[in-house]
Amino acid sequence: MESDDELIAIVSMECRLPQADDVDEFWRKLVDGESAVRDLTDEEVAAAGVPQGRRSRADYVKRAGVLDGVAEFDSTYFGYSPREADILDVQQRLMLESSVSLLERANIDPHRTQQRIGVFAGSGMSTYLFGALRRRDLVESLGEMVIRHGNDKDFLATRTSYKLNLRGPSVNVQTACSTGLVAVHSAVQSLLLNECDAAVAGAVHVRLPQHAGYRYQVGGVLSPDGVCRPFGSGANGTVFTNGIGLVLLKRLRDAVADGDEVHAVIAASAVNNDGAEKVSFTAPSVSGQVDVLSDALQISGAKQTDITYIEAHGTGTALGDPIEIEAIKQAYGLDGDPCGIGSLKGNFGHLNIAAGIIGLIKTALVLKHGYVPPTVNVDEVNPALELDDSRYFVTTEGLSLDRDAENWAAVSAFGMGGTNGHVILKSFAPTPAEKTPDDTADAADAGPSILTFSARSEDALRGQAAALADRLAADPDASLAAYAHTLREGRTLHPYRASLAAVDRAEAVTRLRAGRYHRGAEAGTNDIAFVFAGQGTQRQAMGAALATKNEHFARRLAEAVDAVNEHTDFDVRTYLGPEGPVDGIDTSVAQPLLFAVEYALATALVDAGVRPRYVLGHSLGEIVAATVAGVFDLRSAAALVATRARLMGSCPTGSMLAVDRLDAFTDLLDGGDLVVAATNSPAQFVLSGTHEAVGEAVARAADAGVRHQRLATSHAFHSPLMRGAAEEFRTFLHTVEFRAPRIALVSNITGRVLTEYEARSPHYWADHLLRTVDFAESMETLREAGVRRFIEIGSGRSMSNLVRANLASEAELTPELAQTLGELEHEEEAFADAVALGWAADPEVPVEEYATAARMVSLPTYAFERHVHWVEPTLGFGSDDGADVPAAAPVSAPVPAVPAATASTAPDAGSDDLDGPTEEIRAIVAKIFESFIGGPGSASAADHEREFFELGGNSLMAIQLINKLRETFELDFSVRDFYENSSVSATTNVIKSLLLQEPARV
């Protein structure tokens, strides 16, 4: 790819491997030089269904790379019923979950993005299917077609596209062990053709049962001790393991424009096939490998010597390693700078279908970190590789790259059947971005940020919170604005939501871990009630800090203050500044002041998109609530409040007393001088009356052990002492225009939602000064309506405490609470938290101004809530342990006795002058051949002269056949003997010679 326009960026990577659940753990395993292949206990192998006779054999290898958690799956996330999830192939499950994580690592929400995202992936044959089909209950309940569709690898890519809403090309790729890398090549081509804007590429392989081990066969590809030794002198085979690897690719120019993290750049990729010019279908070919490496190098525009590291296929087999090294020498040349060659198969074994993609992920990490991990299990490099006189060496030790230079690397994958893949990568050095205030952790003037996250269940939501808290706690340079921006733009919105506002990292971590965040869900009610505080909640500089930060609040406050000032003989602004006196201020000042601030808070919240379903207030608070609900316009309300405050302030003075029960005051309440002014909760009441009556109540409370507290008020509100004010107020109210409330307004007096008649009645609002504030009954009305979200409008937490007190016994209605004004130094944060509660209830509430970073960052991926969905797998194809040879072609003839002979009398291969024992050997060999390739047991003598590979055999079948010959004749028949004498006749001659303890004449 000569032009930068043709470069492809790897913008995210995901893997799950034995002992490595993600890319970070994978890399640590490589760097530490650790192996993920472990010994299996006899109990594990037995539990996998391996019969005693097989697992006790000397050639049975009890080692495997076990992938944890394959029985678990988050069916809820993907909308599967438990039963359907039970039969879904574990490979398809891994693909679904890993694809979600992959996209989230790239901060892509597939449900909102305009990008066309393609899927290019492959998987192994489903061995999970065998167990599912043997479950009669599953077949009868779901039907065979559903079970087959859930396990057919044809649906791997399309199922992923469907479940994740991906709209680019969706293509299965199947080329055996090169699948993962060929999938990457296919994705690259699709991106270059502009068929998609991003592409998921990779492969998954899980063979079940995982703990079964395997039987070693001499000359086969499997290791006799379960250890893979890539390029080592002791290389004697590989061990197949399980895992998944995925990458997300974009055109480099798009990745840079999107602000993506680029792990490495794909400069070229190439794919070919060996064709027929090799020993057998499953054998490798030097020429095919040379061609694919050379093609990729030419496309990349790099020189041979630019490549300083090659992640080889590196199977650790005596045949494969030398062929691969020879191909590298021919393609990349012998002269030039040193070039390391490594293979991760020593760490993780042969990942089969996923081998190539995991090799690509490792190579990208090498370039990203500037370090080549050691290739393990290589005590001595195989001298047959002849590396001493070349520029190549096996990376048996860790190797640091020059981070200041552009580094190039390559990765290979070769599949049985001859499809070869090769990818060339280079490192990527992003242009340093100019730092913005959002990039600075906990900037003093950054203001609060709103963190929003969601999940498919309550448990998963808690998992999301825990993961986010852990990441924040471990990230001292975290920018909350960047976290907030990423969560809002780069994550899918799920039915269960959560949010919180914070100004610093420590506070966010504390709230996340304590579960102190606001929740919402698609199901059930998400109604919000605004609760307006009453007189006595005012404090100094109330709203002053918020007004300097929030333009909506500042504008609404100015409107309210101007309206109130028209009806007062003082300027409300005097009491809003830092020096404004508020302690002991007269009722005629306190009520207009509170009205202006509370009206501004509520309307600013509505401007921010937070819309209440209900409003209610405590005494004066109900007047503000009614104004917000539309019963009064602002100018009328300002006049009403100023008049109400003046009239109440002119009444005779009195006292008020808060108590926790009423039984001790029954006789005093009957006298009329003492009344219940408010029923705030089942355990909080306010008494109101003359100074003398309240003084007597204080003494009574002390004697009866009643908790009590005098309130700092100058008057006995909501008592008969307000009667004169109520009458004058009624006269004034006849001049006011009333409207029907646009928002449900819960009455202080009745505790019910106010009717239009009541809302528009001067008598209702006049009696409001005299009647008991029944806040507890108001809360009961909201409880019955299912309301559990409350935003306190005003200063402090008095209303929030009353809400909690009224719902304390309702465990299922734990309230979600937010205050619009906290302490002076936290006003902006408190208001933002009220907006956060609004978002949890309705995700349409905009929070952009609280998530202002210009770029996204890496955050934890979805915390899947996994449950066991499992059908016990069947070992292999369910064959009888003794059925090593097909029953249709038994080999049961006794091995004939061969008389002693000399070399000069031993018949030549192909001789027609065969004695009786030779004929018997030939018949047995022919039967064995027939059992593997369907002939030539009954064919002509001429067919007995045809080579095994000419008859349609391949190298894998040859290993099986050779081992059968060894068992049948109880002799050491080498792989080389067979390859050089592979016809029935020649094999017969070799066996006879071995039985005579003579070498075969060939």
What span, in angstroms and rounded, lies between the C-alpha atoms of 280 and 285? 10
What span, in angstroms and rounded, lies between the C-alpha atoms of 989 and 1002? 9
What span, in angstroms and rounded, lies between the C-alpha atoms of 965 and 988? 10
What span, in angstroms and rounded, lies between the C-alpha atoms of 312 and 293? 11
What span, in angstroms and rounded, lies between the C-alpha atoms of 493 and 855? 19
Q: By the 8 A CB rule, do 749 and 622 touch?
A: no
Q: What are phi and psi of 307, to 5 degrees?
A: -80, 115
DSSP letter (8 states) at residue 968: H
Establish whether 795 is a catalytic residue.
no
What span, in angstroms and rounded, lies between the C-alpha atoms of 985 and 558? 106
User: For the residues of 454-474, what is the DSSP string, one character each?
Assistant: EESSHHHHHHHHHHHHHHHHT
Q: By the 8 A CB rule, do 759 and 631 touch?
A: yes
Kindly name the residue from 619, 747, 985, 993 that is annotated as catalytic.
619
What span, in angstroms and rounded, lies between the C-alpha atoms of 776 and 682? 7
What span, in angstroms and rounded, lies between the C-alpha atoms of 543 and 426? 56
Pairing mode of beta strands 392-394, 339-342: parallel
Give the closest residue to 310 by CA, choosing from 378, 360, 345, 237: 360
DSSP letter (8 states) at residue 951: T
Tokens matching residue 696: 């007597």
> CB 807: neighbour CB atoms within 10 A?
22
Cα 760 off chain centre by:
54
Establish whether 518 is a catalytic residue.
no
Establish whether 826 is a catalytic residue.
no
Pairing mode of beta strands 214-215, 243-251: unpaired
Tokens matching residue 889: 């072609």
Establish whether 494 is a catalytic residue.
no
With tokens 């040859």, the residue in question is 958
> CB 553: neighbour CB atoms within 10 A?
26
What span, in angstroms and rounded, lies between the C-alpha atoms of 430 and 760? 66
Cα 76 off chain centre by:
14
Give the closest residue to 779 by CA, choosing from 811, 802, 798: 802
Q: By the 8 A CB rule, do 248 and 242 touch?
A: no
Q: What are phi and psi of 905, to 5 degrees?
A: -100, -5
What span, in angstroms and rounded, lies between the C-alpha atoms of 200 and 345? 24
Tokens matching residue 284: 């490798």
Tokens matching residue 192: 């270059």
What span, in angstroms and rounded, lies between the C-alpha atoms of 180 and 282? 18
User: For the residues of 237-266, what is the DSSP string, one character each?
Assistant: -B-B--EEEEEEEEEHHHHHHTT----EEE
Pairing mode of beta strands 614-617, 528-532: parallel
The CA radius of gyration of the chain, in Å to the nearest whole number, is 40
Kindly name the residue from 350, 518, 768, 826 that is annotated as catalytic.
350
Give the closest residue to 794 by CA, choosing from 829, 830, 765: 830
Given CA atoms 522, 523, 525, 530 in this order, what sign does their dihedral have?
A: negative
Give the alpha-carbon dihedral of 327, 332, 333, 334, to 10 degrees.
-80
Give the closest residue to 822 by CA, choosing from 601, 612, 616, 613: 601
Kindly name the residue from 15, 177, 228, 651 that is annotated as catalytic.
177
Kindly name the residue from 211, 313, 485, 618 that is annotated as catalytic.
313
| End-to-end CA, the chain | 52
Active site residues: 177, 313, 350, 619
